[in-house]
């Protein structure tokens, strides 16, 4: 890696920190717009929706909610960087602990689903682009239009109905067979925990339960990735350098899957991160349908219970995940595209 690439990465990292700060300030401002005085602030931060006035007043005092705004924003930022998102009043545990428990479960199937859809989507997108306007192209287009344009919950519900209830191929709900005892939580991710403890029945049950949600996520982002791949591939296939590659005598298929796909993958990196954000949102719905207890389930519970600390905490943590993913994408972009390093 040359010095230019490193400088590029450092600048992107600084951008990421700025982005996070702006985000936190936005959320802070938002809370203060909704709750302009210490009492209503206490109502939000304490997570107790129907407390007494004296309780809120006391809470505001102990948590410095009556301090000047600039002090408050400072404390808020410090708290967030310390991972202090408050206490979840319903589960009576720190929000950060609960996120640490639920987020890995979601990432497990969301990342698997995305990886599957990237591999498939890149391939089908390139395949369709290579056969533009031919029946194969139209079939691919029809398929991704259908999976993409269907509301996520309906897609998941239909999958569940057909595969789990009608055909009885896979379990319909839950993350794991509830009769099994969970192995000790060492590595945060349930699958890794099961592997660590060599608890095979538990592992198999986990994977069994994971297939349908993963499939739903994969179908959800498959459309986006295929469509983007197809259109960027078409752009590349019209460039002079692609034509010169053919002119040299490189077989068309080789040119498509090496030169064109390689160049098309550069802009795709950014989109795949957007897709991650999109899929996390999809996970909320999918977890609800499959009663899969991940971060989405936690968010939905928080919404039903008007549990503000949980809502704010998850929003920030997920945004942070996306920012980090964005940073990785930027770096990848720099590695993939020699032109970026010039900037």
Between residue 144 and residue 203, which ones bind other proteins under the rule CB under 8 A?
Answer: 145-146, 148-154, 157-158, 161, 165
- For 28-48, give one letter per residue: b (16+ CB within 10 A) or e: beebbeebeebbbbbbbbbbb
CB of 329 closer than 8 Å to CB of 273: yes
User: What is the nearest approach in angstroms of other proteins to the Cβ of residue 15?
Assistant: 7
Residue with smaller CB distance to other proteins, 79 or 231: 231
Q: Angle at Cα 84 formed by Cα 83 and Cα 88, nearest 5°?
A: 120
Residue with smaller CB distance to other proteins, 8 or 202: 8
Count Cβ atoms below 10 Å from residue 262 Cβ, excluding itself.
Answer: 11
Instruction: Give just the sign of the alpha carbon dihedral 13, 16, 18, 20.
Output: negative
Residue with smaller CB distance to other proteins, 194 or 286: 286
Residue with smaller CB distance to other proteins, 118 or 289: 289
263 binds other proteins (CB under 8 A): yes
Residue with smaller CB distance to other proteins, 57 or 246: 246
List 300, 328, 331, 332, residue binding other proteins (CB under 8 A)? 300
Closest CA to 302 of 42, 88, 39: 88
Which range of residues in 59-67, 98-106, 115-123, 229-237 is near other proteins by CB under 8 A? Answer: 229-237
List 91, 187, 231, 328, residue binding other proteins (CB under 8 A)? 231
Residue with smaller CB distance to other proteins, 31 or 191: 31
List 281, 328, 331, 332, residue binding other proteins (CB under 8 A)? 281
249 binds other proteins (CB under 8 A): yes
How far apart (Å, rounded) are the C-alpha atoms in residues 83 and 309? 12
211 binds other proteins (CB under 8 A): no
Helix (H) / strand (E) containing 249:
none
318 binds other proteins (CB under 8 A): yes
124 binds other proteins (CB under 8 A): no
- Give the list of residues 6+ apart from residue 180 with CB closer than 8 angstroms, or none: 201, 202, 205
CB of 310 closer than 8 Å to CB of 319: no
323 binds other proteins (CB under 8 A): yes
User: What is the nearest approach in angstroms of other proteins to the Cβ of residue 291?
Assistant: 13
- Give the list of residues 6+ apart from residue 342 with CB closer than 8 angstroms, or none: 4
How far apart (Å, rounded) are the C-alpha atoms in residues 241 and 110? 37
Residue recorded with tokens 């369709």? 128
**Residues numbered 5-34 forming contacts with other proteins, rule: CB under 8 A:** 15, 18-20, 22-23, 26, 30-31, 34
Give the pair of three-digit tokens for residue 229.
């791949």
User: What is the nearest approach in angstroms of other proteins to the Cβ of residue 193?
Assistant: 26
Query: Total binding residues for other proteins by CB under 8 A?
Result: 76
């Amino acid at each position: 890696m040359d010095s230019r690439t490193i400088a590029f990465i450092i600048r992107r990292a600084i951008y990421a920190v700025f982005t996070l700060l702006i985000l936190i300030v936005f959320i802070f401002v938002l809370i203060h717009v909704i709750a302009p005085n210490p009492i209503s602030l206490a109502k939000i931060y304490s997570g107790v929706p129907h407390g007494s006035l004296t309780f809120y007043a006391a809470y505001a005092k102990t948590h410095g909610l009556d301090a000047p705004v600039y002090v408050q924003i400072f404390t808020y930022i410090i708290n967030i960087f310390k991972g202090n998102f408050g206490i979840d009043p319903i589960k009576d545990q720190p929000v950060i602990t609960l996120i640490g428990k639920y987020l890995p479960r979601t990432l497990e199937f969301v990342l698997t689903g995305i990886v599957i859809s990237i591999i498939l989507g890149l391939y089908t997108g390139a395949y369709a682009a290579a056969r533009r306007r031919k029946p194969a192209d139209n079939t691919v287009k029809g398929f991704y239009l259908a999976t993409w344009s269907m509301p996520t919950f309906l897609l998941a519900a239909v999958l569940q109905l057909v595969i789990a209830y009608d055909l009885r191929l896979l379990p319909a709900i839950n993350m794991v067979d509830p009769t099994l005892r969970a192995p000790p939580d060492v590595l945060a991710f349930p699958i890794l925990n099961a592997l660590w403890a060599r608890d095979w029945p538990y592992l198999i049950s986990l994977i069994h339960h994971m297939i349908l949600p993963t499939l739903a996520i994969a179908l959800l982002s498959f459309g986006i990735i295929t469509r983007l791949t197809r259109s960027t591939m078409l752009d590349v296939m019209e460039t002079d350098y692609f034509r010169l590659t053919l002119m040299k005598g490189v077989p068309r298929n080789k040119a498509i899957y090496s030169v064109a796909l390689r160049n098309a993958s550069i802009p795709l990196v950014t989109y795949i991160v957007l897709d991650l954000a999109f899929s996390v949102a999809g996970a909320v719905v999918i977890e609800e349908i499959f009663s899969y207890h991940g971060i989405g389930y936690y968010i939905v519970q928080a919404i039903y219970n008007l549990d503000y600390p949980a809502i704010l905490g998850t929003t920030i943590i997920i945004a942070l995940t996306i920012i980090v993913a964005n940073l990785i994408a930027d770096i990848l972009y720099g590695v993939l595209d020699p032109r970026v390093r010039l900037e």
